[in-house]
Structure 1
Amino acid sequence: MALMMVSQGLTRAQVEDPKSDVAFPDSVIDMMRGNLGQPPGGFPDSIVKKVLGKEKPNLERPGKHLKPADFEALRTELQAKFPDEEFDDEDFNGYLMYPKVFTDYVARHEQYGPVRVLPTKNFFYGMEEGEEISATIDPGVTLEIRCQAISDITETGEVKLFFELNGQPRTVRIKDRSAVASVKANPKAEAGNGKHIGAPMPGVVATVAVASGQAVKKGDVLLTIEAMKMETSITSDQDGTIKAIHVTPGAQIDAKDLLVEFE
């Protein structure tokens, strides 16, 4: 909730104002439903009504309504998704609690390898010229990686990396995401235009639930955005027909970027 308010520049008064339209993250909606339990005294009625609308929250212990889990069936389900991976009990517990997050994590692991062994700073920001790091990928197997040089950005937004892997020279081309972002700017939603749906915060488009020409009702989910470990559903604020979808799953977006346009 705090991250949402900071990223969208919202004040407490704006969040509490019944006339102010706010796209709440799914995690906040889930919390107000009572799926994490209730604090002493409960949540403020005005906030619960603002977030849930006519939906009634669960005031009982959340676990009371959970169906018994079939551990063996769920283990089989997880293994079927990733037949080449081996999962211990810690992995399985992660899948039980956060199935989508864990599935995304394993899929990235299969695509990029064990990136979890990289230093956090390098995972997020890459390496600088002359920097050297060590990464232990298996017991007794350590990679020594040294960044030698980074080329200038090409017209296609790529850079060439020159590095050493255990003393052996290597070269690879990669997309410079900051360069791509500076080259291509997404259209912005027009202020006051009721036919434009803009992004409430920067992030990545996770899913798109509608298509051009589709009729939707007020409250229908149009798409979801992931930002700062939050997933936010963008819902329609009106009945109408979709004229155009301006984003695709996986697209990087900034605040106020035009997402959906109504006829």
Structure 2
Amino acid sequence: MLKVECGMDIFRVFDCLNYLPNLIVGMEAAGKAGGIVEAAICYSGDVSNPKRTKYNLNYYLELTNELIKAGAHVLSIKDMAGLLKPQAAIILVKAIRDKHPEIPIHVHTHDTSGAGIASMLACAEAGADIVDVAVDSMSGLTSQPSMGALVASLQGTSLDTQLSLEAISQYSAYWEQTRNQYAPFECTVTMKTGNADVYENEIPGGQYTNLHFQAHSLGLSEQFEDIKIAYAKANDLLGDLIKVTPSSKVVGDLAQFMVQNKLNEKDVVDRAEELSFPKSVVEFFQGHIGQPHGGFPEPFRSKILRDLPRISERPGASLPPFDFKKLEEDLKKLYENVTFKDVVSASLYFDVTKEYLSFREQYGLVEHLDTASFFIGPKIGEEYIISIEEGKIFNIFALAVTDEINENGERTVFFEINGGLRTVLVRDNTAIKDIEVRPKAIKGNEKQIGAPMPGMVVEIRVKQGDEVSKGTPLVILSAMKMETVVQSPVAGIVETVHITPSMKLQAEDLIISLR
């Protein structure tokens, strides 16, 4: 309801596993709020390949029938990894159009392989009403196919869009300049060209760059090709999943876990009962995100879960109602000017919202800064004019930054505001080391438990003197959104806890000693 009031009209409702009970809950909520319900089927496999039988044409047609029966106003085909080949596009879209001639069909894809334009033209020819593209300067690779290329390809045909190429070029030029303002967020180490190996590894476009950043944070940048190969193997181990957020994260976490720990598929299965798998993998097998098509792979699932609880129904069905009022009260104890939008944001992304509110509390009205000043910072010798409100304007002139760093890792920045000299201490995160050198766990000694990966300590679940069994969760570590539950490899008593919450660790740092 809040999103409708804020101006959103169309709601694309999808589930990472195409799990119907999850989809229907979202569709009903969007419909009751007065929104247009665009129900999505997430595409995986290859309907043009008779050897790929799990996600065949009949699977998609049956799912389409159920979504239309549940009240979809628009049907979306969400091809998050760019796997929909032109021939498959013709088969799938034509079959849906023939069976449901009235439903608008909207196709979303990514151009990872470079075949995106061909696939979208095939969708249009087969009866799709809408295909997603991106303005030329923002298109290609893991983005969407080029708008200009699609418009030009359809000129003079029965599907002519009637859009002006000249206008599209001007539009693209604007966004090319705007993109420069966000240069700090551009990833300079990921793919430079289209890559058809996506048909083998099936990495979604939205995950590709995130996966590379995660690999970099884990010290695996040079092994990214190995991670892509492991991604396909991890997907097989998990039962060949449809991969969208968050199921794609499950596959990516397992792939990096395998490369980090030098494990092949046989190692993972044979040692499943002793390994500390990423939290996302464990929760997937518990049923936290729903039931995958074809069920969970056994006995792999039982080896990982052992005695952990399992969910066989819609995951949210057994949850108690969320207490928005209490969350609002808790936030207002910490921050000023908390709005209901902040409360809703915190209910979805608690840690991110807290970080945002803390930033807002500390730095104030940063929305008055221009984009380059906010993301890149002022250049020495340049003047910046900032308008807070009518009649209140600041002329800021950046003067100098000291070379010396104090004991807190801060440099002194000199500047003028409306002619008055000011100084401020600014922490230089690139010039200090946040990770200390810590003792390592002795390899082969099961009573010394080391960190399975670099990361930050999120939660410590035991204390000195606690008795633990083999498989007892001890610590949760996090690195770039990948959480890992470190389990006890043996039974024993906690002798020493060597870590504290929020501590940053390297791989094999000693975290727990047992006796």
Task: Pick the TM interval, shorter chain.
Answer: 0.7 to 0.9
**Equivalent residue number for residue 86 of structure 1:** 337
Between Structure 1 and Structure 2, whose CA radius of gyration is higher?
2
Within the candidate set 438, 457, 462, 1:186 is matched to 438
After the TM superposition, which residues 221-240 of structure 1 pair with which residues of structure 2 at under 5 Å, given as runs? 221-240=473-492
Distance of aligned partners of 1:177 and 1:248 in 2 relative to their CA distance in 1, 3 Å threshold: farther
Distance of aligned partners of 1:250 and 1:66 in 2 relative to their CA distance in 1, 3 Å threshold: closer
Distance of aligned partners of 1:157 and 1:56 in 2 relative to their CA distance in 1, 3 Å threshold: closer
Query: Cα offset for 1:224?
Result: 1.9
Residue 34 (structure 1) aligned with residue 273 (structure 2): no
Query: Cα offset for 1:251?
Result: 1.1
Distance of aligned partners of 1:53 and 1:179 in 2 relative to their CA distance in 1, 3 Å threshold: same
Query: Cα offset for 1:258?
Result: 0.9
Within the candidate set 313, 321, 345, 1:68 is matched to 321
Whole-angstrom distance in 1 between the partners of 2:503 and 2:510: 12
Amino acid at match of 2:495: K
Distance of aligned partners of 1:121 and 1:50 in 2 relative to their CA distance in 1, 3 Å threshold: farther
Whole-angstrom distance in 2 between the partners of 1:79 and 1:39: 38
Amino acid at match of 2:317: K
Whole-angstrom distance in 2 between the partners of 1:135 and 1:220: 58
Query: Cα offset for 1:235?
Result: 2.2
Within the candidate set 464, 472, 488, 1:212 is matched to 464
Whole-angstrom distance in 2 between the partners of 1:152 and 1:3: 40
**Equivalent residue number for residue 494 of structure 2:** 242
Query: Cα offset for 1:194?
Result: 1.2
Asked if structure 2 preserves the Cα contact closer than 8 Å seen for 1:129 and 1:149, the reply is no
Asked if structure 1 preserves the Cα contact closer than 8 Å seen for 2:331 and 2:338, the reply is no
Distance of aligned partners of 1:51 and 1:88 in 2 relative to their CA distance in 1, 3 Å threshold: farther
Within the candidate set 248, 254, 259, 2:506 is matched to 254
* SS class of match (2:317): helix
* SS class of match (1:180): coil
Instruction: Write the deviation string for residues 177-199 of structure 1: whole angstroms up to 9, x where unpaired.
Output: 763347x4111111111111111
Asked if structure 1 preserves the Cα contact closer than 8 Å seen for 2:448 and 2:513, the reply is yes
Task: Compute the TM-score of the two structures, normalised by the length of structure 2.
Answer: 0.41
Asked if structure 2 preserves the Cα contact closer than 8 Å seen for 1:127 and 1:147, the reply is no
Q: Percent identity?
A: 26
Query: Cα offset for 1:20?
Result: 6.7
**Equivalent residue number for residue 422 of structure 2:** 169
Amino acid at match of 1:74: F
Whole-angstrom distance in 2 between the partners of 1:161 and 1:57: 55
Q: Hey, which of these two has a bigger chunk of helix by percent? A: 2
Q: Hey, which of these two has a bigger chunk of strand by percent? A: 1
Instruction: Write the deviation string for residues 230-256 of structure 1: whole angstroms up to 9, x where unpaired.
Output: 333222222212222221112111111
Task: Compute the TM-score of the two structures, normalised by the length of structure 1.
Answer: 0.74
For structure 1, the 5+ residue unaligned runs are none
Asked if structure 2 preserves the Cα contact closer than 8 Å seen for 1:240 and 1:262, the reply is yes
Q: Which has the higher contact order (CA 8 A, sep 6+)?
A: 1
After the TM superposition, which residues 40-59 of structure 1 pair with which residues of structure 2 at under 5 Å, given as runs? 40-55=293-308, 57-59=310-312
Distance of aligned partners of 1:19 and 1:35 in 2 relative to their CA distance in 1, 3 Å threshold: closer
* Number of equivalenced pairs: 255
Whole-angstrom distance in 2 between the partners of 1:234 and 1:137: 51
Whole-angstrom distance in 2 between the partners of 1:79 and 1:137: 33
* SS class of match (2:432): helix
For structure 2, the 5+ residue unaligned runs are 1-249
* SS class of match (1:179): coil
* SS class of match (1:45): coil
Amino acid at match of 1:222: L
Asked if structure 2 preserves the Cα contact closer than 8 Å seen for 1:133 and 1:145, the reply is yes
